[in-house]
Structure 1
């Protein structure tokens, strides 16, 4: 009898524990082309389908193809009194990362957020437009809250995209962790 009561208590605890898990919410996305003669954004938006399903999509039109040398700077910032550096600020050679994801585990983790939603997965010669299509908040939630313990608050994921060592674009994704 006592073991059944303990089992019931454990089930109730797990049920309520599941209810208080952290949740990520997209709040905005801003994409800026810093060199409109090199690349432009066809679209960059968040779409809220209903209260529980929200996703982000973007498409970069490359105007000088092929692109063979790409670096990316990723920074994770938390809003205190303005956005301040938080967990990481990493610059990687995207070509090396695509060839060998184990070369930089932090960058590979960041890439995993949009890898399955993107056409930036194979080689580094980009002779096509770059698309990130329908990254759902559910997939971000799973990767962000299950892997890293991150304090609640407002965050910005800032990225600078360099081609041939010239900053060509920035993408900022804003969100809240509650």
Structure 2
């Protein structure tokens, strides 16, 4: 038989969980080109439409196209007396992954990160890449991925991506943000 006090505590707990929600906000964006003869960032900025709506805008000019061999390292870091590794640090063959997204079952961890830019960039096709790359990433997509799809605990985060073409690092992008509870 259910204890009435236990049942009441459970109902209150479930009610409180529904009331707690979190929110993501961009705090900074840094882009560095390691080889400016290969590529350079034309845009790397956060745009603010109003006090609550921001988006990241990144455009990379590619000078040696077509690019047929790309690797990406994605590392998620959380700030604990400096940024420390948190959950993910993955290096993958981007061309192979893009082929698998459209043909077979892709790696779900990589697909999670790909869903940030899948609909907001021109990188949503298989290799080769023979054009400049552009991402316009609204806060709503990042907020949904980090608070609803896979909820993250509150805190300051950095997503660092390192881009390799032909096994040489060409660029680094760092996206900084905060997950806070409302």
TM-score (norm 1): 0.88
Deviation at 1:139, TM superposition (A): 1.3
2:166 aligned with 1:172: no
Mapped to 2, the partners of 1:136 and 1:119 lie a distance apart of 15
Describe the superposition over 1:26-80 as per-residue Cα deviations: whole angstroms up to 9, x where unpaired.
0000000000110000010001110221100100000111110000000000000
The 5 A counterparts of 1:142-157 are 142-157=144-159
Give the alignment of 1:1-178 within 5 angstroms. Answer: 20-101=20-101, 102-133=105-136, 135-178=137-180
How far has the Cα of 1:20 moved from its partner? 2.8
Q: Deviation of residue 19 (structure 1)?
A: 5.2
How many matched pairs?
165
CA RMSD between the two structures = 1.5
CA distance in 2, matches of 1:143, 1:19: 19
Q: Distance in 2 between matches of 1:137 and 1:130?
A: 19
Deviation, 1:103, is 3.0
Give TM-score scaled by structure 2 length: 0.86
SS at match of 1:119: coil
* 1:100 match: secondary structure: helix
- Note the C-alpha offset of 1:18: 5.5
Cα distance in 1 for partners of 2:140, 2:56 equals 11
Query: C-alpha displacement at 1:17, in angstroms?
Result: 5.6
Deviations 1:89-108 (A, max 9, x none): 01110001111133321111
Counterpart CA distance in 2 for 1:103 and 1:80 is: 32
Moved over 4 A (4+): 16-19
Structure 1 residue runs of 5 or longer lacking an equivalent are 1-9
Say if 1:58 and 1:132, in contact at 8 Å, map to a contact too: yes
